[in-house]
Amino acid sequence: MKVPLAKTRPRVLALILMLGVTVLGTGCASVDTGPFTQFATSVQSLRDGSDSQAGAAATASRQDLVEQVASGEVSPADLQLQFDESNPFVTSYGFAESEPNFVKLIRFRQGLAALNDAMVSYAQSLVLLSGGGQGGDILPTSAQFDQMAQSLNANAGTAASALGVKIGSGEQALLSTAAVQLFKAYIENKRRKDLAQAIEEVQPRVDEFSLAAQQAVHFLASMAQTDYDEEILPLATATPANATPILTLNDTTQATLATLEALSSSYGALPEAHRDLKAATSKKPGGLSGLIALTNEAIRLQGFVTQLAKANAAAAAPQ
């Protein structure tokens, strides 16, 4: 029997609507880019804060060496570079331990910066995958993501080795093979569940990064205490007695430690914020408390960095 055309159209329309519901049910829908952008911005703040503190530690150590030479504690001859006969690109200092502390701190700063850069790159890749890049919802191809992942993992592995910490197993990859495959599946199929599973796969690496970064910040705090112990004695025994430089040193030391404490807390908030990104892949209502906490810590850190800059400027002014 021939069905009238007028009756077929509603049926076709119903089938189309049912197909649409099925597709949406599989998770083929856009992802809210806001949480991913918020996460990336906060991670960038942590990178900037840690780099400024590591740089300050290296500068203070270098100045301490200058003062040791001026006081006769260290011979100027020890500052002469020695060249490796087997490798023309390698040099060392004449010190018994091969290099002064400030050189070690410079290398530490470079390793920490590279580790932070790897995390920033990962955060930015999440923004891109969520559709928050310049191309909007135009995602990178699987081949492009492969290249991104290889570069990110190489940088993370090199940085972790330089700091003597462990991020992942094997080649210390931030993105495991399973995570990369899940991200590529999301690129190809646009299913939110693939993105959620990929983020979950990376979570242990983010946990390890958080611990490694906090350990690095604690090391910087110990350096601040060492610097204080070395500087306070001559100020406390100076004649005539002068409280001003002592109080100035106290102010800068306390401001430094407050900044480092905020930085450590910010790194500590990173894992929960990353877990919230998995929840952000769905459109279920609910607060992202971990992400909010990380954002607040990053804002607090920026405030301490500003205060520390003012304290350092005051300390540099003539007493």
Q: What's the average model confidence in pLDDT over 293-308?
A: 90
Q: What's the average model confidence in pLDDT over 21-27?
A: 36
Q: What's the average model confidence in pLDDT over 90-99?
A: 70
pLDDT exceeds cutoff 50 at 7: no
Instruction: Kindly report, residue by residue over 266-295, the tens digit of the pLDDT.
Output: 999 999 999 999 989 876 656 789 999 999
∠ CA 139-200-153, rounded to 5°: 65
What is the predicted pLDDT for the residue at 232?
A: 93
Choice between 94 and 212, residue whose per-residue pLDDT is larger: 212
Query: Which of 6-15, 29-38, 89-98, 248-257 has the highest average model confidence (pLDDT)?
Result: 248-257
pLDDT exceeds cutoff 80 at 198: yes
- What pLDDT band is residue 35 in, cutting at 50, 70 and 90? very high
What is the predicted pLDDT for the residue at 22?
A: 33
What is the predicted pLDDT for the residue at 293?
A: 94
Q: What's the average model confidence in pLDDT over 5-33?
A: 45
Q: What's the average model confidence in pLDDT over 67-73?
A: 85
∠ CA 165-169-173, rounded to 5°: 85
What is the predicted pLDDT for the residue at 271?
A: 95
Choice between 93 and 113, residue whose per-residue pLDDT is larger: 113
Instruction: Kindly report, residue by residue over 223-246, the tens digit of the pLDDT.
Output: 899 889 988 998 999 999 999 999
pLDDT exceeds cutoff 70 at 45: yes
Mean pLDDT (the chain) is: 81
What is the predicted pLDDT for the residue at 167?
A: 65
- What pLDDT band is residue 297 in, cutting at 50, 70 and 90? very high
HEC profile of the chain:
CCCCHHHHHHHHHHHHHHHHHHHHHCCCCCCCCHHHHHHHHHHHHHHHHHHHHHHHHHHHHHHHHHHHHHHCCCCHHHHCCEECCCCCCCEECCCCCCCCHHHHHHHHHHHHHHHHHHHHHHHHHHHHHCCCECCECCCCCHHHHHHHHHHHHHHHHHHHHHHCCCCCCCCCCCCCHHHHHHHHHHHHHCCHHHHHHHHHHHHHHHHHHHHHHHHHHHHHHHHHHHHHHHHHHHHHCCCCCCHHHHHHHHHHHHHHHHHHHHHHHHHHHHHHHHHHHHHHCCCCCCCCHHHHHHHHHHHHHHHHHHHHHHHHHHHHCCC
Q: What's the average model confidence in pLDDT over 244-251?
A: 92
Q: What's the average model confidence in pLDDT over 159-168?
A: 68
| Distances 27 to 129, 274, 285, 288 between C-alpha atoms, Å | 15, 20, 16, 20
What is the predicted pLDDT for the residue at 222?
A: 92
Q: What's the average model confidence in pLDDT over 292-308?
A: 90
Identify the CA nearest to 277 among candidates 168, 186, 188, 195: 195
What is the predicted pLDDT for the residue at 241?
A: 92
pLDDT exceeds cutoff 80 at 170: no
Choice between 314 and 216, residue whose per-residue pLDDT is larger: 216
